[in-house]
Amino acid sequence: MATDHTETLARLANLKASAPQNIAVQAFDQQWFETLPATDQDRILACLASGLANPDSEMGCYAGHADDYDRFKTFFSDVLSHHHKTPSDAVHRSDWAGPSAPMDVTALGLPPLSVRIRVGRNLADLPLPSAMGAKDRQALEDRMQPVFTALAADPQFGGGYHSLTPGHKAETSRDTYHSLIDRHLMFRPLDTDPYLTAAGIAGNWPVGRGAYVSHDQTVIIWVGEEDHLRIMVMDRTTRLDQIFTRLRGLLDRIEAQPVLEFATSARFGNITSCPTNLGTAMRASVHLALPNLTRGGSDKTAKQIARAHGLSVRGMGGEHTAIGNDGTVDLSPSARFCITETEILIRLWTGIQALKEADQAVID
């Protein structure tokens, strides 16, 4: 029997008036919804679960299956064009060529910075995290073990896996888990995040979750966070371009493993749970001290200036956390979709320069 959606649709209709910033709620068209077969109606409302439970959401939806973006193109094209300010028929392109010259922040008068570049990836043949059951989550972790064994044997990427799954042979202790979080190597408990919880992404916590960390702690692969995989390189360095090149090398090594095929779309690029990450799924960030712009402890001015340069300011523990007491912020280009990987790196480089100048201008 088809599910009765009367209550959910009434809630959606109310939120259209009270949550104007909630992109998913605003993009939802009930007339279009009525034309869908019953199973698709269930599926699209599952995508909106987080935004319905959390009216303050900015995005308000997560895909549950890799083909949701194409299957529900009417809805997602609208969502994507609102968030990314792209035309509704935009086609994403990738380019990892990198910059034509070294990007050394010494040239900007800066010391070595903590630089991190991550990409999200999802396996093509498993549901996305919001639609996974405990068995899928365990299957994901199991599928990654041969990949980690291969990386562990590679002198460039050697390290070990820390599992959060109770009883796993590589299960990590509570203390080690928290120490990994403090060192920015591991993600926080997903079930403390109301958006991820309502979406189902935090489901079965902590089954199937973990992180591979290289011995030198610069290569990190998260398993079972918002996307199946978050693959990253992080280091204190002056050379942004070297982190980028190292990440590409890591991806090549991972993609060479026969057990993995990542979900992509000819139109949307790399598929991710959250439409904000679709396309490159890349966030390239630096921890940058902006003591003058953040004087008094507020990130408001820094955020305003950053936005004008296409950049986002986050806190020292990542999204939804506070900036450092010394005025250090996490600065990254906001765009992920219809921008290339190389362009993201260039935007970070020019952004660091612009924010540093703006910070200096406060005291000049």
Short-list 342, 336, 321, 348, CA closest to 116: 348
Q: Is 318 in the site for ligand ADP (CB under 6 A)?
A: yes
143 is written with which tokens? Answer: 């599928």
Geometric angle at alpha carbon 350, from 99 and 80, rounded to 5°: 85
Is residue 97 helix, strand or coil?
A: coil
Radius of gyration of the chain (CA): 21
Work out which of 63, 105, 115, 140 binds ligand ADP, going by CB under 6 A: 115
Q: Is 314 in the site for ligand ADP (CB under 6 A)?
A: yes
Residue 283 partner contact from ligand ADP, ligand ARG, none using kind-dependent CB cut-offs of 5 to 8 Å:
ligand ADP
Q: Which stretch binds ligand ADP (CB under 6 A): 134-142, 209-217, 298-306, 311-319?
A: 311-319
Work out which of 43, 137, 230, 356 binds ligand ADP, going by CB under 6 A: 230
| Integer CA distances (angstroms), 109 to 104, 112, 113, in order | 10, 10, 12
Short-list 152, 150, 170, CA closest to 162: 170
Q: Which stretch binds ligand ARG (CB under 6 A): 51-59, 168-176, 256-264, 300-308?
A: 51-59
In sign, the C-alpha dihedral spanning 201, 205, 206, 207 is negative
Short-list 35, 46, 8, 30, CA closest to 273: 46
Work out which of 28, 33, 195, 337 binds ligand ARG, going by CB under 6 A: 195
337 is written with which tokens? Answer: 């979709």
Q: Is 197 in the site for ligand ARG (CB under 6 A)?
A: no
Q: Is 57 in the site for ligand ARG (CB under 6 A)?
A: yes
In sign, the C-alpha dihedral spanning 163, 161, 181, 198 is negative
Work out which of 19, 45, 47, 59 binds ligand ARG, going by CB under 6 A: 59
Q: CB 60 → ligand ARG: shortest distance, Å?
A: 5
Residue 58 partner contact from ligand ARG, ligand ADP, none using kind-dependent CB cut-offs of 5 to 8 Å:
ligand ARG
Residues that bind ligand ADP (CB under 6 A): 114-116, 118, 184, 230, 234, 283, 285-287, 314, 316-319, 330
Residues that bind ligand ARG (CB under 6 A): 50, 57-60, 195, 226, 274, 276, 319
